[in-house]
Chain A
Amino acid sequence: MSHIPEDELLLYAMQSGALSAGRRVEIESHLATCAECQERHDFLAIHDEGAVDEALMEEDTWEPVFGSPTYDALMEHGARVAEEDREAEELLRSYLEHPIRIAWDALTTKRRYRTGGVVRKLNAAAHANYKNKPRVALTFADAAISIAELLPDDMYPARAVYQLRGAAWKERANALMILGEFPQAHESLDRAQRAYAKTPHSGLGLSIVALVRAGVLYAQLRPDEALVMAERAERGFAHAGDEKRRMDAAFLRASILFEAGDPNRALPIFRGIIEHGENTQNEQWIALGSYAAANCEVDRGDMGEASILFHRALRTFRKQGPETERLLTEWGIARVIFHGGKLHEAINRMRAIAVELEKRGMATYAAYVGLDIVEGLLALNHPKEIVELAQRLFSAFTKAGMLTGALSALAYLKEAAATNRLTRQDVAAVRTFLQRVERQPSLQFVPPPRPPEDRI
């Protein structure tokens, strides 16, 4: 049997009117009896069905070939942002190396510094410095704000300039939080929030504001409000798909619960963080979650589980650091040993840890460990060693230039030990005070009330 030529079959399939009526009838009859031609015809006839044809009819399938007004506009914007960043790199080089120059030179008076690139660069510099050099970060953030506020509202499409303003105010809040200037930090966060809210399609900025605000409230010892904010941030980050920041928010929320004396509610969150680390094969999250969950287990009295978790954390911190976390985990293990009743072994371990912490300039943590040692020595009834230890802690704090309130607390500890009147309650009171004064530097130490027989 002879088949229908493909050209003719195609014409029949797509534009049958181009064929004569007689030929159409012939082809129709042939197709009824020839499976091969029928199959070829079907393939040719299906031109507006199926995923490929459908997608070929959609404009954005062709965008990489032809571009589009949106593509053109965005690439132009992207090129501008990149160019501004390149210029800012040059303009700010000496300022980033010598931040004090920013305070001397009024950048806003120099027209070429009034760019989005300069604001982005200053924001990034503020962020990089806020934890360790908050004063420097504040200088960068203030400069970023003064420029960002001068930029025209319509400088970028989609009011995106407000993102830069929001980020600048947020960096200012970060620095102020570390500096303990909480009311000013809240004011800056209000400004950041207002700016970010101008671009409602981007929820990330507002979520970051919520997280920083949770941190400020936590530092202000306002745990209930801090919890609400941390939860809000967590949901915002979940929405924006920012898993790293979501974990930061979850960790903060659990830490607040833990410090508020609620390890039972904190524990599942820390367990969730471990699970997240396992799912994403992130050893740091596993280690941080394990360490924090172990602390919860200690407070819950499950020393076996605490030991397992601390050791899990320790494996990672020994391998990858950070050293601070490694030392704190070692301290956790020593506390488990302490609770197990092996006081001598626990005290020996803690002494070694305290020395290492001091060497690294971590006087406050060394003091916390010292307080645990004091508790052990109290239980062993070694008052002389307590006096020596209290004296050493006081000297270390003085040398480290610690806050007056913290020094007063340690002086009280030293004196109570010397007069043989130190109790576990005193140690607990000093520990609580040291935790609080770290976040509220202006706090003054008030000695705990004594039982009536102790009063003169």
Chain B
Amino acid sequence: MPQELRETKSMTPVSPGGTPGVPASFEEAYLRFAPLLRKIAVRKYGIPLAEAETLVHDVFATYFTNAGEVNDVRPYLVGGICNAARHYLRRRDAREAIFCGEDPCAASPSESILQEVERKLLLRRLLARVGSRCRELLHRYYLAGESTQTIAGALHFKPMTVLICLAKCRKRARAAYEAMTETRP
């Protein structure tokens, strides 16, 4: 998925107090469950990430449109992505695709997927706390794949400074991550 830097200057999270006009429950559901839905589509059904993104979008769009009918959001969304993925793969009659013939239901994500998603959510919380400079460095280095020289040039640092900062950020991130993981029951 191509990604645009939204706030390269401040690196503040997109919705510290919620997006104006959007019910908090919608945004919360999306940020909390979208990673799980992507993982299920990609890992369980082998759907390419770009296609999986469309499916995730459709599942959430449908949920937002008729949220009043849904009693339990997480399994609804998980069931939704499972149906969407199967429909995408098989392109068969919609009515047949609704009911999963497997027991246990294939919509149940595996333990390893759940663990990965849990890790990701922890990391997201952590990234919200590490400070904007750290976030920017980590983002440029890990996600954008920029070299330390490029980062140094963009930020007017010496390459060595970037490396040291990066190492410290990683150290802080790892330490905070381990602390968060250990404190979980």
Contacts and interface: CB of A to CB of B under 8 A. Distances in A.
Contact of A78 (B38, B64, B84, B163): B64
18 contacts: A11-B163, A60-B35, A61-B120, A62-B143, A65-B7, A65-B13, A68-B3, A73-B57, A75-B19, A75-B26, A77-B64, A81-B26, A158-B61, A199-B62, A202-B83, A204-B69, A239-B99, A241-B107
Nearest to A244: B71
Contacts of A4: none
Given A60-B35, A241-B74, A197 B95 contact: yes
B81 A201 contact: yes
A154 B69 CA distance: 21
B4 interface: yes
A56 B128 CA distance: 13
Contacts of A59: 1, 3, 143
Contacts of A62: 3, 127, 139, 143
Interface residues of A, number: 75
B7 A58 contact: no
Among A6, A73, A199, the one with the most B-chain Cβ atoms within 10 Å of its Cβ is A199
Interface in B155-182: 159-160, 163-164, 167, 170-171, 173-174, 177
A191 to B, nearest CB: 14
B17 interface: no
A7 B174 CA distance: 19
Contact of A56 (B3, B65, B67, B143): B143
A260 B160 CA distance: 81
A203 B23 contact: no
A160 B135 contact: no
Interface string A72-97: 01110111011100000000000000
A243 interface: yes
B15 interface: yes
B128 A64 contact: yes
Interface of A: 6-7, 10-11, 14-15, 18, 43-44, 47, 51-53, 55-71, 73-75, 77-79, 81-83, 116, 120, 123-124, 156-158, 160-161, 163-164, 167, 193, 197-208, 232, 235-236, 238-245
B124 interface: yes
Nearest to A160: B65
A290 B56 CA distance: 41
Contact of A58 (B68, B74, B120): B120
Contacts, number: 244
A204 B67 CA distance: 11
Interface in B36-91: 38, 53, 55-72, 74-76, 78-84, 87
Given A78-B22, A164-B65, A202-B83, 7 more contacts: A6-B167, A10-B163, A62-B3, A63-B31, A64-B31, A199-B62, A201-B81
A216 B80 CA distance: 27
Contacts of B4: 66
A15 B22 CA distance: 46
Contact of B72 (A64, A200, A243): A243
B179 to A, nearest CB: 12
A123 B34 CA distance: 28
Nearest to B181: A51
Contacts of A69: 1-2
A74 B64 contact: yes
B66 A167 contact: yes
Given A64-B31, A79-B21, A158-B58, A57 B66 contact: no
B95 A206 contact: yes
A64 B14 contact: yes
A201 B40 CA distance: 14
Contacts of B13: 64-65
A57 B105 contact: no
B184 interface: no
A60 B62 contact: no
Among A11, A60, A79, A238, the one with the most B-chain Cβ atoms within 10 Å of its Cβ is A60
A15 B163 contact: yes
A57 B60 CA distance: 24
A442 B174 CA distance: 73
Contact of B57 (A44, A157, A198, A207): A157
Contact of B76 (A18, A67, A73, A242): A242
A16 B65 CA distance: 55
A208 B69 contact: yes
A120 B84 CA distance: 24
Contacts of A14: 148, 163
B115 to A, nearest CB: 9
* 5 cross-chain pairs, A with B, having the tightest CB-CB distances, nearest first: A241-B75, A201-B84, A79-B21, A158-B58, A160-B65
B84 A10 contact: no
A413 B120 CA distance: 71
Contacts of A238: 105
B121 to A, nearest CB: 9
A96 B47 CA distance: 46
B146 interface: no
Contacts of B61: 73-74, 77, 156-158, 160
